[in-house]
Structure 1
């Protein structure tokens, strides 16, 4: 769909009219379109737009306001902007904030950000660049890698590196089934001097909403990519792929100091607003007010601050002028803080833990709401007892696999989980002397006896029977066979 440009006629009353030829103006695209053209913003009056006659009817006193808004946002409403995207964004953002629509422009978020005083700088001690392994990739992983490189080179977020060393790349599966590319910066992080800039604890940020009744939540677009790597340090972010080596110009995910640098950035930008009517935790910004009139001013100030610093937000992840909002895992409203029922339901539906890692995961998740639970430490004492180093976590159902050949015995100890059997330990024993002369059924039985002795301490600690698996059919009757005379 293309947007038509032409003569705009403003009619304030039947006897007066004002016309302006905007055919050469980029801002014209905001006003003249087809039948799907959205209503144009005005805090006083919503004018009537006739896209076929190229006319806009409005009260005379609000014309200048409308014209100013159009001209101020000319860069946003240009011919490259997709009208469908504009319409969708305008449905999410209240009309009172339309003058800040450029903050939610996706094209703006894909441009290389400017340098800030808190650019990511590496202070290294004895660091030697690693030679990352180029792992074998599946077709889907290769497609994801290729698309990632092409997209970020086009945005000037990465550039080809002259170095042959660098960190390897890995892939993590997303909830929607797609793949997320991750650069494995383990060695770089190990030698990086840690930035001690304070990232505030989440629970302390939630104590400033007292008395507030209206809220807006802004999600910054790009997050860590909003910060540049300090000039001269770009080569330290190199990573190796089968398509070549590349280095970042913006701060990537996975760096140990990324949260500290990003928190430093947002704190510097909103320094005079923090805890007054703005709370910021990394890329999530909350605006809180006691009245609607006050809130419009607060949000406008925040959006203006974002524009001044060339930052943008994701319109579809933002909420405006609501009485209740989810923030940092809590439901915030005029009544105070509440637990998010989705998180509570996850705790109630948590499957029984099968090993130490499962218990650690559950406690880490449940600890988030410990402030709402009386005698919490007492109630979880039975679980924390499993975290002691001297405690041997009871194994679940076990399977002991044995096999024998002419010259050796092989055994595998497996543990059963929801996804199947997983090997816990392997071992092998070479047959010597008389064992070499045993019949095959005796060698198979010897493998079972040797495995029971070898893992006696593990198997005796089980609270339930375990299986012995062998490929020798006749041994299944060993325990029930009669003694022959």
Structure 2
């Protein structure tokens, strides 16, 4: 009810009325049809502020309270996008049936048969004294502990174990409460339960039209700990000794335990219509009829297990969602704009850790940047330091130019990729230079050539001493190995500008131990290769460009994948070829390039859709 007070909302239960005072539109009186219509009408009055009234049919104070209880938590924030009134009503019916999981007014501990365990063998208890705190920090620390006690997240302890507490200051001046479990983690037996690959999860969402995203509220704090191991989570402050009742952040096996619980809980639909990455749950379907059934089933499972989700972070029955830093649509994937803004706001690094932090953030989106390896080379030059040489860090004009170039690409290039169509063969164009290898994965669809993935990396010192044939073969091997998930069981045509590698997959032996070894590792995917086709370097512009030349200026700003591809390139001189203005993918100029003489017969191999 604090939300109602803060937003000047007056609830008149006897009159079955809500009074909304909006500074822009004045006062709005809203009547309700029933308990389900309350969230809809209140949302309209808050977001649109119209002067309207609705006739009352049936209403009880109890149903009113139950609906209003989760409105302040953003229950409506992600539903206004549904334009079809029938679909909207169905969604509200489903959500209303499971409204308990949206009520985050009081924390709960989920019911699970897989509580977190901490295995320390026979190691004696570890006890660390509390860190020194100022008076201000001491008050803040006790305030945080009191909140945890009130929510039953921690309890007073008499444990022989104790870990100190870290207070990390936030930009707004408040503190973040963390327990330093490093000593405990050092003696804990590691849980090797696998974490899902972000690439695989994103790829699984391709081709679907409806998405619902659920975010568990303080997910770790909903997972119980085995009673006998709670004492090991004990922490100490200058004013007391406490231990966790639930899974705490900072414990070494916390991610593994959490992922195991969620995978087992949602095992029936996992990978079929739901994917889970820790506390993020995404439900995906081809049609609304399927989606309402899938959402209802997942919410029922979460409700039965007493899990709670955070309403402001949930998206219901949308055509696109943000997931793992990417904006997912039925046919494309692109970086989230707010994540790009974070990278753009990073100042020039002045220390090794700052440079590594920038590389880590930009590297997460390297699949969208065609010439990533070449641009990042100056940055790797100053960050790939051994422990004894880290003090030699420097930041010169070469590094600053690469730093600025990445930011330019993020603001001017079309940072999106198409999801692959498993019914259409792939085209993998690869190339190698003295220092880099690269590849572009594409599909020739009825709507034109679509780029699915960019791959590139620097060669190691040893790899740079390979022969030209070995480097070109390495480019093919590495790209195929890295893109197995995307290629799946589809056919693939490989393009290379090194003629000796033509159809090398059909040879029993290449008479080169290194290449034969790579072919052996690819034996499961070799039957899917239609052909390894020779394409002259002047025509293999995409990957050849990524490995050899500096990216040139582009001024077009792309807002969506629907932009047309109209530019061509100059075939007369490879050295002076400028990168086309990026009206579509950076590889769009491959569409108009002619096949080299003598290879026209290969055109019939790739079936046009």
TM-score (norm 2): 0.52
Pair 164,385 (structure 1): closer, same or farther in 2 beyond 3 Å: same
Pairing 1:27-426 to 2, within 5 Å after superposition: 39-40=33-34, 56-57=56-57, 83=68, 85-86=70-71, 89-92=74-77, 94-96=91-93, 97-108=95-106, 110-114=107-111, 116-125=112-121, 127-163=123-159, 165-386=161-382, 387-389=384-386, 391=389, 393-394=392-393
- Report deviation, 1:273: 0.9
Pair 281,4 (structure 1): closer, same or farther in 2 beyond 3 Å: same
RMSD over aligned Cα atoms? 3.3
How far apart in 1 are the matches of 2:164 and 2:341? 38
Pair 39,251 (structure 1): closer, same or farther in 2 beyond 3 Å: farther
TM-score (norm 1): 0.64
2:33 and 2:57 in contact (8 A); partners too: no
- Report deviation, 1:305: 1.2
Structure 1 residues not aligned, in runs of 5+: 7-30, 48-54, 59-66, 398-485
1:113 and 1:310 in contact (8 A); partners too: yes
How far apart in 1 are the matches of 2:309 and 2:33? 22
Pair 279,165 (structure 1): closer, same or farther in 2 beyond 3 Å: closer
Pair 235,78 (structure 1): closer, same or farther in 2 beyond 3 Å: farther
Pair 175,101 (structure 1): closer, same or farther in 2 beyond 3 Å: farther
Q: Deviations over 1:293-350 (max 9, x none)?
A: 3222221111111101110101111111222211100000122211223333443443
Moved more, 309-318 or 86-95: 86-95
Instruction: Report the counterpart of residue 543 of structure 2 in structure 1.
Output: none
Pair 125,379 (structure 1): closer, same or farther in 2 beyond 3 Å: farther
How far apart in 1 are the matches of 2:355 and 2:129? 33
Matched position secondary structure for 1:232: helix
How far apart in 2 are the matches of 1:228 and 1:286? 23
- Report deviation, 1:135: 2.4
How far apart in 2 are the matches of 1:230 and 1:178? 32
How far apart in 2 are the matches of 1:228 and 1:372? 40
Moved more, 387-396 or 334-343: 387-396
1:356 and 1:393 in contact (8 A); partners too: no
Q: Deviations over 1:364-391 (max 9, x none)?
A: 1111011122242233222212213265
Pair 203,39 (structure 1): closer, same or farther in 2 beyond 3 Å: farther
- Report deviation, 1:2: 7.1
2:335 and 2:365 in contact (8 A); partners too: yes
